[in-house]
Amino acid sequence: MPRRPRRKSCNGIYHIMLRGINRQVIFEDDVDKFRLLETIKRFKDISKIKIFSYCLMDNHVHLLVKETEEPVSRAIQRVSASYVFWYNAKYDRCGHLFQDRYKSESVETVRYFLTVLRYIHQNPVKAGLADNVFECKWTSIHEYIHQSDLVDIDFALNLFSPDRGKAIQLFSEFMQKSNDDHCLDNVEKIKMSDSEVISHLEKLGFPNTSALQQMEKEQRNQLILQLKGLNGVTIRQLSRITGISKSVIDRIH
């Protein structure tokens, strides 16, 4: 069945979500996150897109963007291809990293623009990774409050007030408001703890990791594949728990 065409935004503004294939982790450390932000910044200038907000989670990315001269699909393709090339070289892997087709929705009204802006900044909070939006290191919230670098903050702040000080105050209050907003139908998942993964192994009949390491390779790989399919499990975590290298786990498909 052919894919349904994406809905075209009348003003060029879109909420984008890039997700790891099979929801796998796309950032192993902070260096990876810095690299993606640098890549977005580089292609922002090339593709002439505007970035209104971002949020980097372990296995997905949210962006609120506006296309101008180049279609947003082309800009996202540039960013993802460049990052995946770098990531694969760093971790000695090959193949896809992101889900083939990124998710997107058009943002047609001021009201929904502000809803998405808040949704993106509250993502880590709703996932249980922070107590408030200002504790979130990997969102664009601090560019609005302190100093902008990647993000085009003027459009959003001017929606609150022409006075910059008042606008930042109103923006901050709005970003912290409790809500039941749902955008792009993505369900966030708190990262599983090591004890939860070990408990899952025990339920499968493996009281310790040494038993797993003594298995036949094919049987072991099937078990690793099953563990990788659990929501909230990272490759680094599986390597730490099982004693199997990250590169080996990453190659198991």
The whole-number pLDDT of residue 112 equals: 94
Q: Do both 92 and 149 map to the same domain?
A: yes
In this structure, is residue 189 part of a structural domain? no
Shared domain check, 68 and 107: yes
- Cα dihedral 21, 26, 28, 29, rounded to 10, equals -170
CA distance 28 to 36: 12
The C-alpha torsion from 21 through 16 and 119 to 45, rounded to 10°, is: 120
C-beta of residue 160 within 8 angstroms of C-beta of residue 166: yes
Among 175, 205, 224, the domain-final residue is 175
Residues 204 and 170 in one domain: no
**How many folded domains does the chain comprise?**
2
Do residues 77 and 202 share a domain? no
With respect to residue 43, please indicate whether it lies within any of the assigned structural domains. Answer: yes
Whether residues 148 and 206 fall in one domain: no
Element (H, E) at 31: helix 30-47
pLDDT in tens, 38-88: 999 999 999 999 999 999 999 999 999 999 989 999 999 999 999 999 999
**Structural domain ending residue among the three candidates 175, 208, 229:** 175
Question: Given CA atoms 157, 160, 161, 166 in this order, what sign does their dihedral have?
Answer: negative
**Residue at which a domain ends, from 146, 175, 204:** 175
pLDDT of residue 49: 95
pLDDT digits (tens, 9 = 90+) for 112-146: 999 999 999 999 998 888 899 999 999 999 999 99
| Whether residue 131 is found in the same domain as residue 243 | no
* Structure confidence at residue 230 as a pLDDT band (50, 70, 90): confident
Tell whether 159 and 87 lie within a shared domain.
yes
The whole domain housing 110 covers 13-175
Q: Is residue 7 part of a domain?
A: no
Q: How many whole angstroms separate alpha carbon 212 and alpha carbon 201?
A: 9
Tell me, yes or no, whether 56 and 149 share the same domain: yes
**Do residues 170 and 199 both lie within one domain?**
no
Does residue 103 sit in the same domain as residue 209? no
In a domain, 168, yes or no: yes
The domain that contains 104 carries what CATH number?
A: 3.30.70.1290
